[in-house]
Amino acid sequence: AQKITQTQPGMFVQEKEAVTLDCTYDTSDQSYGLFWYKQPSSGEMIFLIYQGSYDEQNATEGRYSLNFQKARKSANLVISASQLGDSAMYFCAMREALNTDKLIFGTGTRLQVFP
Amino acid sequence: DSGVTQTPKHLITATGQRVTLRCSPRSGDLSVYWYQQSLDQGLQFLIQYYNGEERAKGNILERFSAQQFPDLHSELNLSSLELGDSALYFCASSVAGDILAKNIQYFGAGTRLSVL
């Protein structure tokens, strides 16, 4: 069964610096997708970025990029030029299995950006 | 704003009661998903509907049920509530029900349920 592991319960970063949030996954499928979501203190879940297993390039969306290392089964989120508004919980997710849309989530990393 | 609307935002009720959570998906989305987020269990998938039909089921208790109506809005019914049902309940929607690799699920703001 698929599994997502986020080993960093909390991370601190100074404003304008870059930060990497780790995510490793376990799957026996060849085709899969990885997602990152942001959850601010207000509670909503905001989609950030997607990486497909067959995508040749690492995904990027503005200040977010995904460092995808397939052989290591890692999909780390990189946030460049951190802003105070980036302070939030960040969740890595993937589909539970090839034949379903159910997402399974990691336990999340709480990022705090300080001035 | 994801375009997914959930009501109410907050719900406070007593044990043994029944509540209904409502979700309106993004315009054009046919799939609706329900997730539960609690401190001890994290984020867990409950159930998915696609165009009115149940598509997938997760760790949803028998006391919970859901449906998707012809206008594609969905309701999650929670009955015989227990203290442990207190959680943040999310609805998400996506375009398709087919298994596409890039079938992004967009989440609503959630309904925070407190069972006292």
Is there a contact between B110 and A33 if contact means CB atoms under 8 Å apart? no
Looking at per-residue confidence, does B1 or A65 come out higher? A65
For residue B65, which of B87, B46, B50 has the smallest C-alpha distance?
B46
**What is the average pLDDT across A86-107?**
89
Confidence tier at A62 by pLDDT (50, 70, 90): very high
Confidence tier at B101 by pLDDT (50, 70, 90): low
Sign of CA dihedral B11, B14, B15, B18: negative
pLDDT one-digit tens code per residue, A29-55? 888 889 999 999 999 999 999 998 888
Confidence tier at A102 by pLDDT (50, 70, 90): confident
What is the distance between the alpha carbons of residues B100 and A37, in angstroms, rounded to a whole number?
18
- pLDDT tops 70 at residue A98: no
Number of A/B CB contacts below 8 angstroms equals: 66
pLDDT one-digit tens code per residue, B16-63? 999 999 999 999 999 999 999 998 889 999 999 999 999 999 989 999
| Min distance A73 CA to chain B CA atoms (Å) | 17
- pLDDT tops 70 at residue B78: yes
pLDDT at position A1: 76
- Decide: residue A21, CB within 10 A, 0-12 exposed, 13-18 middle, 19+ buried: buried
| Min distance B10 CA to chain A CA atoms (Å) | 12
pLDDT at position B1: 83
Q: Are A42 and A105 in contact (CB under 8 A)?
A: no
- How high does pLDDT run on average in chain A? 93
Across the interface, of B42, B97, B104, the residue whose CB is closest to A105 is B42
Among chain A residues, CA nearest to B33: A102
Q: Counting runs of H as helices and runs of E as strands, what totals does chain A give?
A: 0, 12
Among chain B residues, CA nearest to A40: B109
Instruction: List chain A residues with CB under 8 Å of B31.
Output: 101
| Min distance B46 CA to chain A CA atoms (Å) | 9
